[in-house]
Amino acid sequence: MSTVLPRPGAAPATRNGTAAAPRPARVRPAARRRGLTAGIFGIGSALPERVVTNRDLEQVLDTSDEWIVRRTGIRERRRLGEGELLAPLATQACADALADAGRTADEVDVVLVSTVTPDRVTPGLAPEIARALGATGASAVDLSAACAGFLYALDHAAALVESGRAGVVLVCAAEALSRIVDHTDRSTAVLFGDGVGAVVVAGGDLDLGLAGFVLGADGEQADLLYADAEARVLRMQGQEVYRHAVRRMSAATAEALQRAGLTTDDVDLFVAHQANRRIIDAVAAELHVPSEKVVLDVHRAANTSSASIPLALHQAERDGLLKPGMTVALAAFGAGFVWGAGVVAWKERVHACA
């Protein structure tokens, strides 16, 4: 497949190489919020046991710990062992999320799993996770939206709950990027890791809940970051992806805050997709979010695609940075391109009852 890259400052190129007219900004209607409001009530996460440090990668690639840390902030990543499956790890994270929310598997109406690396091409991960949990009454489906998949799934879960179509939705992001990385390509092999994060979404009499969600997609840029079905290897134009990621996440977060009726000053924590520390810092700077409010988890888990946000949220909670009632801004960007942002009142009802 030929790759068409836009020149810096040029109008975005289409896939047949012609210049595309810039798309006019569209004013989005504010989401209707009435009755029950969806929120997050519990969280769980799991990482494979195998740790791969930058020093380990120095042994097999022409790279250095110094280069990786300086350019990305990554110090280590986890990888599934040979033949190890994602479903058991995801089931553990989901069980922990349910326990944290004080819910049982038989209460779950929908299991929604974001993944680009399921154990099998078909069936997806979700039915197996539902079976292993004992969520026998639940529907179960995978969703593929690359690194923005967790935010897409959260938005879908909120819609199901707020429309009354579901009472409890288990949202899980489960990824094994080590399965689709070219382990001989130093420009991508060092960036990615494996892991799982899950949250329980349900309804309540909440003030904010899951608010202001903004999702977007631009298929014109697909060739900048992709893995073909046959080769199943991730290819990326790093600098172009970097540029788009900063622009899209900054704009989407600003819009999400506006839709939620909030400003940056209202944000207690900012949790962006953990792709690269420099991207996260650039988005935070663009939004004027001070560094002490920016959650960084990329050093320990690297880029785990859609799992990176729930992994970072869970780690922030364990570190005592994230507490019930806090207002958290979320932002993500990934292959597609797809992106999203939203505002979450963290475990708001737990806070209200405390």
Catalytic residue numbers read 147, 273, 303
Binding of ligand COA at residue 190 (CB under 6 A)?
yes
Question: Which residue lies nearer to ligand COA by CB, 139 or 237?
Answer: 237
**Contacts of ligand COA in 110-129 (CB under 6 A):** none
Among 211, 236, 298, 338, binds ligand COA (CB under 6 A): 236
**Tokens representing 107?**
């209460």
CA distance 250 to 101: 31
318: left (phi over 0), alpha (psi -120 to 50) or beta: alpha
Count of residues near ligand COA by CB under 6 A: 21
Binding of ligand COA at residue 173 (CB under 6 A)?
no
Please name which of 316, 338, 336, 311 lies closest in space to residue 326, comparing C-alpha atoms.
316
Q: How far is the CB of 305 from ligand COA (least distance, A)?
A: 7
Binding of ligand COA at residue 147 (CB under 6 A)?
yes
Question: 170 and 160 in contact (C-beta within 8 Å)?
Answer: no
x-marked contacts with ligand COA along 301-330 as a string, rule CB under 6 A = --x---------------------------
Q: How far is the CB of 291 from ligand COA (least distance, A)?
A: 19
For every residue of 256-325, DSSP letters joined together read HHHHTT--GGG-SEEEE--S-HHHHHHHHHHHT--GGGB---HHHH-B-GGGHHHHHHHHHHHTTS--TT
DSSP state letter for 221: G
**Contacts of ligand COA in 60-79 (CB under 6 A):** 63, 67-68, 71-72
Q: Which residues of 172-190 are buried (b: 16+ CB within 10 A; e: fewer)?
A: bbbbbbbbbbbeeebebbb
Binding of ligand COA at residue 276 (CB under 6 A)?
yes
Q: How far is the CB of 77 from ligand COA (least distance, A)?
A: 13
Binding of ligand COA at residue 333 (CB under 6 A)?
yes
Q: How far is the CB of 99 from ligand COA (least distance, A)?
A: 31
Of 151-159, 184-192, 205-213, 280-288, the window that binds ligand COA (rule: CB under 6 A) is 184-192
Please name which of 344, 37, 326, 33 lies closest in space to residue 205, comparing C-alpha atoms.
37
Binding of ligand COA at residue 239 (CB under 6 A)?
yes
Question: Which residue lies nearer to ligand COA by CB, 57 or 94?
Answer: 57
How crowded is residue 229: how many other Cβ atoms within 10 Å of its Cβ?
Answer: 6
Among 132, 242, 321, 324, binds ligand COA (CB under 6 A): 242
Reply yes or no: is the peptide bond before residue 290 cis, omega within 30 of 0: no
Side-chain half-sphere exposure of 78, counting CA atoms within 13 A:
23
CA distance 156 to 109: 13
Question: Which residue lies nearer to ligand COA by CB, 65 or 84?
Answer: 65
Binding of ligand COA at residue 238 (CB under 6 A)?
yes
Q: Among all residues, whose Cβ is closest to ligand COA?
A: 238
Q: How far is the CB of 102 from ligand COA (least distance, A)?
A: 34
* Rounded alpha-carbon distances, angstroms, from residue 195 to 9, 95, 191: 36, 15, 14
Write out the residues near ligand COA by the rule CB under 6 A: 63, 67-68, 71-72, 147, 186-187, 190, 236, 238-239, 241-242, 245, 275-276, 279, 303, 333-334
